[in-house]
Structure 1
Amino acid sequence: MRYRTTTPADEPGLHALWAAAFPDAATVAALWNRAPGRHGRTFAAEDGAGRLVSALHYQPRPIRSATGRVQRVGCVGGVATHPDARGQGHVRHLLAAAVDAMTADECAWSLLFTATPRVYEGAGWRSFGAPGWSGPLAGRAPHAGAAAVRPATRADLPALRALRDGFDAVRPLTTVRGADDWEHRVPVWYAAPARILVAEDHAASGHAGPVAPASAQAPPGAAPSGTPAGFAVLRHPAPRQAELAEIALAPGREADAAGALLSAAALHARAAGATTATVRLPADAAIVAALPRFLADPVPAPTHYGMARPLLAPAHDVLATVTAPTAFHWYADSF
């Protein structure tokens, strides 16, 4: 068995390996294909026949720390082993190589998300939790407030970016998104049937309005008609299931925007055939207060998929970041 970094000639083998391991292999490959320096940061196990049987990659990402300082973090993803090569320690070898490379790449620490934490614990990663709730979808009336909600269009991109930057300004564990993230990463992770809902504040102009019905569609490329008060992302991870995966709220408008967005999300989710839902959002006061507008009986459902490993940063600094009360990592920043 040979362990090495990949070359452009390995791309068909990597794509085949990911296709055998992931239901969303096309998404994994699409994002990896755009990653700068990807081959030098992708590690693979090659058998005697020249077949890639195991692989993983890391990508440095700018992530906010507990103090608000932006750190270079080695984000590990694409971890896959062919079914007939599992249980042979390939991932352990690849993780060791990745740790050395991330340290040389001046990454302060490493981040990954997994449903199989035991694979990584022996290599120094430790799990941390994230808030969440689940339950049946709410059937409440539309939110009566100053914010009206509609599906986002590409014309909303500058407003969405500004809302995201403002909401995350001091939020630990969030990624500092650049133009390429908004142009390519966000559309990949939030492709249809997911949708981004925008809340517009018409109070200043005296044109307050109700939540847009689930059937309403803004015309392609339509210009925003009010001041953006927030946005939320509604996903459908499984049949008859919905998930709120991201939110951003404008300062001073948190309560009204959260209520409007969660009410509208429930209407859209029901129109798509969902009956149950999960919420993967931070436990901010405005979000928690608005939960009954999306879930009829919100039940806490925290997750422990996140794992962190110190590299150059002290372990206590990394722990402070991933366990901070307001810490959160958005789905569209997956790797």
Structure 2
Amino acid sequence: MTAPVAYRPATAADVPSLHATWAEAFDDAHVVRLWSGDPGRLPRTFVAVQAGTVVAAVYYLPRRIRDAAGGVDLVGGVANVATRVRARGRGHVRRLLDLAVTAMAADGCAWSLLFTGTPGVYASSGYRPFTLRYPTGRPAAATATAPPAGWTVRAEPGVDWAELAPVHAAFNADRPLSTVRAADDWRLRVPVWYSPPTELLVARHRGRVAGYLAAHWAPGRVRVVETAALPDRPDALPALFRAVARAAAARDVRHCVARLPADPAIDAALPCLLVAPVVEADTTGMVRPIHATPDHLAAITAAPGAFHWPADYL
């Protein structure tokens, strides 16, 4: 006889089995590291338990995300969705998502957000995909031009992440779909997502941080995953982009992915980074209304400049 399955919030006793479930599904150690940094994680982690073993799990984290009208929504970000191989195809994730969405509604979440490579898993639970677009192309020709007087642009692996927080907040103050980062995000989440081999470049004007850029290097390829500049220092962006172009030439890198939003300051500086850019699409994002209307979500995901930075993934 097959043992019954219980669907419920996780408890401390489930943690070893929960970790084993995630280890079967994910290669990255950051899954457990980020989850363990959330003090409210257990009541927001829903598990399918059979014969005392976790066979599937869904977790969500409340996040503050900007809407299309200049406001901020409380959003339930779904992550760490996993099912053990032997238990797949039995509807466990759908049942757990139902529990998670009910809890999000009780928490006051306006809508829910997730990123996935398997959208079919979530469609039956009311999630709908959206598209983010960004440019790619050949790196711009390297120049020997030094930054103007008073400027420095260099890699700073030991930077105090809190120094970058005001720059990010100012650059994204009106950006729909971007997360309003808290101090804990800069303490844990951003350093985890942008750890080596991602390289951090910082542009300083007379010692003050004016902009920064995160780039992930791989053989023959560089992926710019985040940048920001103070509104009164947009010239930080071309300085940062030229630094990437010089490094690309030195490393014989022939392809650059600029995973960056449509933004006037970025668009003006982009020729310093890319030659003959083409547009690529990321279709891994999905949203589901809870207290918000579908029109509210459509306005956010379709707004000019709307973007969700990789360091805000869950």
- TM-score calculated relative to the size of structure 1: 0.86
Residues 222-233 of structure 1: pairs in structure 2 closer than 5 A: 226-233=207-214
Alignment of 1:150-299 (within 5 A): 150-152=154-156, 154-202=158-206, 226-236=207-217, 239-254=219-234, 256-269=235-248, 271=250, 274-299=253-278
1:81-124: CA deviations, max 9, x gaps? Answer: 12222222111111111111111111111011111112111111
What secondary structure, in the 3-state scheme, does the structure 2 residue paired with 1:131 have?
Answer: strand
Q: Specify the SS of the correspondent of 1:165.
A: helix
Contact 1:172 1:326 survives alignment (8 Å): yes
Q: Deviations over 1:224-280 (max 9, x none)?
A: xx23221111124x54432111111111332x2221112212333555664423111
Show the counterpart of 2:35.
32
Report the AA paired with residue 171 of structure 1: R
Structure 1 residues 3 and 143, CA, compared in 2 at 3 Å: closer, same or farther?
farther
Instruction: Determine if contact 2:64/2:72 at 8 Å carries over to the other structure.
Output: yes
Contact between 1:142 and 1:263, CA under 8 Å: does it hold in 2?
A: no
Unpaired runs of at least 5, structure 1: 203-225
Checking the alignment, whether the CA contact within 8 Å between 1:142 and 1:260 is kept in structure 2 is no
- Inter-CA distance 239–98: structure 2 relative to 1 (3 Å threshold): farther
Q: 1:46-195 alignment to 2 at 5 Å?
A: 46-47=49-50, 49-142=51-144, 145-146=147-148, 147-152=151-156, 154-195=158-199
Of residues 272, 279, 302 in structure 2, which corresponds to 1:300? 279
The one-letter code sitting in structure 1 at the alignment partner of 2:46 is: F
* SS of 1:18 mapped into structure 2: helix
Which residue identity does 2:6 align to in structure 1? R
Match of 1:319 among 298, 306, 310: 298
Residue identity matched to 1:232 = L
Q: Secondary structure of the residue that 1:302 maps to in structure 2?
A: strand
Give the aligned partner of residue 213 of structure 1: none
CA–CA distance in structure 2, aligned partners of residues 201 and 180 of structure 1: 27
1:16 to 10, 17, 20: 20
SS for the counterpart of 1:10 is helix
Confirm or deny: 8 A CA contact 1:143 1:260 kept in the other structure: no
In structure 2, what residue type is equivalent to 1:105? D
Deviation per residue, 1:269-324 (Å, 9 max, x gap): 55566442311111113323433433343221121111111101122112211221
Worse overlay, 164-173 or 11-20: 11-20
Supply the AA of the counterpart residue of 1:132: Y
- 1: CA distance between counterparts of 2:250 and 2:25? 32
- The residue type equivalent to 1:235 in the other structure is H
Bigger Cα displacement from structure 2, 291-300 vs 63-72: 291-300
Per the TM alignment, residue 145 of structure 1 is displaced from its structure 2 partner at its CA by 4.6
Residue identity opposite 1:303 in structure 2: D
What one-letter code is carried by the residue in structure 2 that aligns with 1:172?
P
User: What SS does structure 1 have at the residue aligned with 2:165?
Assistant: helix
**Contact 1:143 1:259 (8 Å CA) reproduced:** no
The percentage of counterpart residues that share the same residue type is: 48
Structure 1 residues 324 and 93, CA gap change in structure 2 (3 angstroms): same
Between the aligned partners of 2:6 and 2:295, the Cα distance in structure 1 is 36
Is contact 2:157–2:199 with CA below 8 Å preserved after alignment?
A: no
Distance in structure 2 (CA, Å) of the matches to 1:71 and 1:85: 35
Q: Which moved more, 1:265-274 or 1:110-119?
A: 265-274
* CA-atom RMSD in angstroms: 2.0
**Which digits, 9 at most, give the CA deviation of each residue in 1:14-52, with x for residues without a partner?**
22211221222x1011000011211110011122x3222
Paired letter, 2:197: P
Letter paired with 1:305: T
Conserved 8 A contact 2:34-2:189 = yes
**Residues 162, 183 of structure 2: 8 Å contact kept:** no
Specify every segment of 5 or more residues in structure 2 that has no aligned partner in the other structure, as ranges.
none
Amino acid at match of 1:42: T
| Structure 1, 271-280 or 180-189: larger mean CA deviation | 271-280
